[in-house]
Amino acid sequence: MRSSKFAPVSAALLAGTMLSGMPAMAQTAPEPAATPAAPATGQTATPAPAPTPAPAPTPATRRARTATPATAPATGAAQTAAPAAQASAPAPVRLIKTLRVEGSQRIEPETVLSYTKLRVGIPYTAETLDQALKDLQASDLFVDFSIAGVETGDIVLRVRENPIINRVILEGNKALKSDKITKEIKLAPRQIFTRTAVRQDVSRIIELYRRQGRFAAVISPKMVSLDQNRVDVVFEITEGPKSKVRQINIIGNELFSDSKLRGEMVTKESRWFRLLSSNTSYDQDRLNYDQQKLRQFYLTEGYADFRVTSAVAELTPDKRDFIITYVVEEGKRYKFGDVTVDSEIRDFDNKKLAASLPVKKGDWYNAKLVETSIDQLSEAAGLFGYAFTDVQPDYNRDAETLTMGMNFHIAQAQRTYVERIDINGNTQTQDKVVRREIRLAEGDAFNSFQVKRSQDRINSLGFFQDKMEIKQVPGSSPDRIILDTTLEEKSTGELQLSVGYSSLERFIIQANITQNNFRGKGQVLRAGVNYSTYSKSVELGFTEPYLFDKNVAIGVDVFRRDYNSFNYIGTQRQTTYSQVSTGFQVRAGVPLTEYWSLAGRYGLSYDEVGLDEATYFTDGACDPLKAGRYLCEAIGNRWTSSVGYSLIYDSLNSRLRPTAGQRFSFSQDFAGLGGDVKYIRTRVEGSKFVNVGSGFIGSLVGEAGYIHSLEGSRGPGVDRIRITDRFYLGEPQFRGFDIRGVGPRVQRQAYTVDTTTGKQILVTDRNQLVDDALGGRAYYLARAELEIPLGAGARELGLRPSIYVQAGSLWGLTRPLPTANFPTITDANGNTTVLPIQRLLVDSSGRQLYQVPSDAATGAGTYTTCAIGYSATLGGTCAGSSTNAISYQASISPFKETYYGSSPTPRVSIGIGVNWTSPFGPLRIDLAKALVTQKGDDPKLVTFNVGTQF
């Protein structure tokens, strides 16, 4: 609640807004006559009885008249009793004897006088004084002003200055933040308060709300008087609801439905499923744009005579919604007639140019194809060095045959050369980082293709805001051009941070920091830390893209990775093998052509692979019955020394968010330049991006790989490629499957007893299986994806959804030998039971141990290596006649091992994903369903990843 003192003050503000600055005519008076005194107000004096005292003047009335002394006589022109001869006498000339200012505080008296034309010694009339009042009003410096001393010539300007603004307060604004409003209004603290400025700011605020579609917004200005001639200005804002577009009516359309035409418009009808869209609010500019969209649509369908005869937006009485009505005339449909090119440039073959255009005779007229043809001709001229080619289409409309003949006229132009390349806006990035991506140099012949290529390369750096364009500006002469590169830098650092907790891994911390424009030189510096119960790693990397300012890239990576592979038994996570890798890699790359490049690398790493001895070892050695034969084979420490290369073709228009172009790479790594591991790993990757129109971006991405061992056989059932060097397939590259969820694997099923039949059966619940992914030597993966455009509201939120389908497989291992063969028995009914394996108890030398009977004369109850008798030392001479019992270790429960997944048969998944530039950083969420699987695969429905930028 506002204090009651606002009511009279606001009333005065509103009254003053209407009445301020409207001075009445000040009239001069003749020489004093022997008549009773009357106020010099310009009214006729009558010989009536004593006049009734006039009411006290208000500030408005004081400004509207000239003040006179209480004893000033009535003017002779106003006295009806005076003789006629006296009335016709000429008025005497009066001079300003003295001139002073009263009431000014902040403003100097000389400044006040400077706003008027009054000066000491000049004559004055009623018009002169009236003009002085108007001049004071026009200055907007005074809330009250009047003139005294009219009769005597001692002129006094009495003023009351406008107050100073102490604060500007906004109340009631929720949809618009205060900082957005204060940037638009002119009133501010320590400025002079004027009613004109208040009215203007009210209009500005209302306009801001109308831009948001809030046409019911009401702004009530209030003024709170303070001491020392100060005021607080309060704008009480009633925002009202957002005015939506309730309905869009189209009248006159016969060839296309209303829904089809509404789909071409940017403005949409308000519906519940458009909750996040901002296009359902009314916008006058958008209304005009939609008329253009309708015309563009009809022009692309051949209706060259189409026009919108009227577009009316009606606000409903409650000011909540708009109803928009379009009246259209469709006209007749045209086809293209003869298509010709008329070029004044001698280098061009007109017939070949016309044949290459997308506009063809007999096709339906399409204005978009005409624009595309103009662009194509301009680009063709640009390839020959003509930067400012003027291409004008001449239309030959034939209303009888309904054809539209086209002649593209190319005006004479001069070959253009690059005069200068200007780079602006790069405050952090050094000039040379940008300039080395530009494929033209000062003095080169202009080439539009090279300009486009330069633009793509600069955008691919990722240092600047998207859609940067190199503008072509005329130079100092017609054959000179200036390439103006205006940049807007953005954050080039990336921070990916994940902190979580799970019952299996306890605390999980992942942090990766990358600076892609280190020191503004385009260098890449990155560091990563990963810590959890099952995974720990530290990685550092540095890349110099232009070594010694030469087009040679070099980089180095240093890493330490501590990884524990795992599987699940029920809900319990079991560590299988551990791998600790420590090493480094040195990289270098050089361009071969504009699109081809060659990269080389050398890496050296030391791998330590082991198993938990307490869990998987027996008598100091890996126990295949506990760990699996395939895991025992992986144990060992080894050096890997490898050298490799990559041949890369890249024509993408952006490496960050490509919308056109393609990329291909062929890579090979040879391990065996020293070290303990020898193989050749080959990988092929390719991608193609296409802008399919209307904001849709299609992409095809594929990759494949194969590892060939250069080592001899490692034994029957043992693959020559070690488990740590193989390919793995699954999340995140193959959406719809879990980490390492595709490819060769061994599953262990335990035996249990059916409580109903009493028979032995296998456990089939996947959560009760031991599932070990083994990797593979060969794989392929392909993905077709379509990025879907959204409305402006969703784009403002940073949402980019896509749908995709993927297919891939992983295979190629030597089938591992069974870990164990369990004994079986068959009862009289033919039911077979798998028995546990009983292991004999042995000493550290592998000798079988026996237990001496408890009633033996010597060594009763102890273990000995003697089958008969007893020896005080293991392996010693046996003495005595006791028959000792065979001792067994704990038995190994029976299980069944099954080898799955080593097949090139494709797995297929389909899904939808959303990239969201969230307040927490870039977030990717995928919902993918595995449609085609092989037995043993591990599908997964939902995946996500999060990071941020700085």
pLDDT tens for 265-289 read 988 888 887 776 777 888 888 889 9
Write down the pLDDT at residue 206: 92
Question: Where do the DSSP E strands lie in 789-894?
Answer: 799-811, 824-826, 832-834, 850-851, 863-864, 868-870, 879-883, 885-886
Over residues 854-858, the mean pLDDT reads 84
Q: Are strands 661-675 and 679-693 parallel, antiparallel or unpaired?
A: antiparallel
CA distances from 645 to 313, 543, 666, 871 (A): 65, 17, 8, 67
pLDDT tens for 164-189 read 999 999 999 988 888 889 988 999 99
**753, containing H or E segment:** strand 745-753
Listing DSSP states for 54-75 in one string gives PPPPPHHHHHTS----TTPBPP
> Structure tokens of 279?
């296009």
Q: Which amino acid is at 299?
A: L
Asked whether residue 930 carries a pLDDT value surpassing 90, the answer given is: yes
Q: Are strands 98-102 and 154-161 parallel, antiparallel or unpaired?
A: parallel
φ and ψ of 399, to 5 deg: -70, -25
- Is 745 within 8 Å of 901 (Cβ atoms)? yes
- Is 915 within 8 Å of 800 (Cβ atoms)? yes
| pLDDT class of 793 with cuts at 50, 70, 90 | low
Q: Crossing angle, helix 6-19 and helix 195-211, to 10 degrees?
A: 100
Strand partners, 253: none
Q: Which amino acid is at 431?
A: D
Write down the pLDDT at residue 601: 96
Over residues 30-46, the mean pLDDT reads 36
Q: How many Å apart are CA 807 and CA 784, to the nearest integer?
A: 9
CA distances from 362 to 98, 302, 738, 900 (A): 92, 11, 55, 60
Over residues 839-862, the mean pLDDT reads 82
Give the least confident one: 188-197, 292-301, 464-473, 565-574: 565-574
Write down the pLDDT at residue 823: 86
- Is 433 within 8 Å of 462 (Cβ atoms)? no
**262, containing H or E segment:** helix 258-264
- Using DSSP, state whether 139 is helix, strand or coil: coil
Write down the pLDDT at residue 920: 55
Q: In the Cβ-directed half-sphere of 635, how many Cα atoms lie within 13 Å?
A: 16
Residues 6+ apart with CB under 8 A from 28: 75, 91, 94, 124, 125, 126, 150
Listed residue (186, 208, 216, 190) closest to 198, CA to CA: 186
**290, containing H or E segment:** helix 284-300
Over residues 854-864, the mean pLDDT reads 85
Listed residue (97, 51, 96, 99) closest to 74, CA to CA: 51
Let me know the angle formed at the C-alpha of 457 by 452 and 463, rounded to the nearest 5 degrees: 125
- Is 684 within 8 Å of 672 (Cβ atoms)? no
| pLDDT class of 577 with cuts at 50, 70, 90 | low
The single-letter DSSP state of residue 37 is B
| pLDDT class of 734 with cuts at 50, 70, 90 | very high
Q: How many Å apart are CA 344 and CA 353, to the nearest integer?
A: 13
Strand partners, 508: 500
Give the least confident one: 73-82, 249-258, 341-350, 618-627: 73-82
Over residues 895-919, the mean pLDDT reads 87
Q: How many Å apart are CA 113 and CA 96, to the nearest integer?
A: 13
The single-letter DSSP state of residue 91 is P
Name the average pLDDT for the chain: 81
Q: How many Å apart are CA 944 and CA 314, to the nearest integer?
A: 46
Asked whether residue 840 carries a pLDDT value surpassing 50, the answer given is: yes
> Structure tokens of 495?
């921070």
Q: How many Å apart are CA 412 and CA 391, to the nearest integer?
A: 10
> Structure tokens of 164?
């100073």
Asked whether residue 945 carries a pLDDT value surpassing 70, the answer given is: no
Largest pairwise CA distance in the chain: 174
91 vs 916, which has greater pLDDT? 916
| pLDDT class of 370 with cuts at 50, 70, 90 | very high
| Residue in the structure block whose two tokens are 């928009």 | 324
Give the least confident one: 490-494, 589-593, 718-722: 490-494
Listing DSSP states for 470-481 in one string gives EEEEE-SSTTEE
Listed residue (563, 557, 564, 636) closest to 604, CA to CA: 557
Over residues 219-239, the mean pLDDT reads 91
Count other Cβ atoms within 10 Å, centred on residue 673: 13
Over residues 511-516, the mean pLDDT reads 84
Sheet holding 98-102, edge to edge: 98-102, 154-161, 142-148
Write down the pLDDT at residue 496: 67
Write down the pLDDT at residue 324: 93
Q: How many Å apart are CA 77 and CA 86, to the nearest integer?
A: 9
Q: How many Å apart are CA 599 and CA 585, to the nearest integer?
A: 13
**323, containing H or E segment:** strand 321-329
Residues 6+ apart with CB under 8 A from 756: none
Over residues 578-588, the mean pLDDT reads 90
> What is the C-alpha end-to-end distance of the chain, expressed in Å?
44
890 vs 162, which has greater pLDDT? 162
Asked whether residue 874 carries a pLDDT value surpassing 90, the answer given is: no
Write down the pLDDT at residue 256: 92
- Is 515 within 8 Å of 491 (Cβ atoms)? no
Highest mean pLDDT pick, 196-200, 456-460, 844-848: 196-200
Q: What sign results for the dihedral spanned by CA atoms 404, 405, 411, 417?
A: positive
Write down the pLDDT at residue 624: 81
Count other Cβ atoms within 10 Å, centred on residue 440: 19
Give the least confident one: 88-97, 487-496, 502-511, 748-757: 502-511
Predicted TM-score (pTM) of the model is: 0.60
Alpha helices per DSSP H over 738-829: 792-796
pLDDT tens for 601-651 read 999 999 888 887 777 787 777 888 877 777 788 888 899 999 999 999 999
Q: Which amino acid is at 102?
A: E
Write down the pLDDT at residue 949: 42
Asked whether residue 51 carries a pLDDT value surpassing 90, the answer given is: no
| Residue in the structure block whose two tokens are 């061994």 | 746
User: What share of the chain has pLDDT > 70, as a percent?
Assistant: 85
- Is 410 within 8 Å of 341 (Cβ atoms)? yes
Over residues 51-58, the mean pLDDT reads 38
Give the least confident one: 53-62, 206-215, 272-281: 53-62
- Is 67 within 8 Å of 27 (Cβ atoms)? no
Over residues 858-875, the mean pLDDT reads 86
Alpha helices per DSSP H over 301-384: 350-356, 367-383
**How many helices (DSSP H) and strands (DSSP E) are in the chain?**
17, 45
- Using DSSP, state whether 397 is helix, strand or coil: strand
**147, containing H or E segment:** strand 142-148
Q: How many Å apart are CA 742 and CA 565, to the nearest integer?
A: 16
Residues 6+ apart with CB under 8 A from 114: none
Give the least confident one: 167-171, 364-368, 770-774: 770-774
- Is 323 within 8 Å of 313 (Cβ atoms)? yes
Question: Which pairs from 280-284 meet CB under 8 Å and 24+ separation?
Answer: 280/244, 280/245, 281/212, 281/213, 281/242, 281/243, 281/244, 281/245, 282/213, 282/215, 282/243, 282/244, 282/245, 282/313, 282/322, 282/324, 283/211, 283/213, 284/313
Residue 537: is it exposed, middle or buried by C-beta count within 10 angstroms (0-12/13-18/19+)?
middle
Asked whether residue 713 carries a pLDDT value surpassing 80, the answer given is: yes
Over residues 301-308, the mean pLDDT reads 93
Asked whether residue 415 carries a pLDDT value surpassing 50, the answer given is: yes
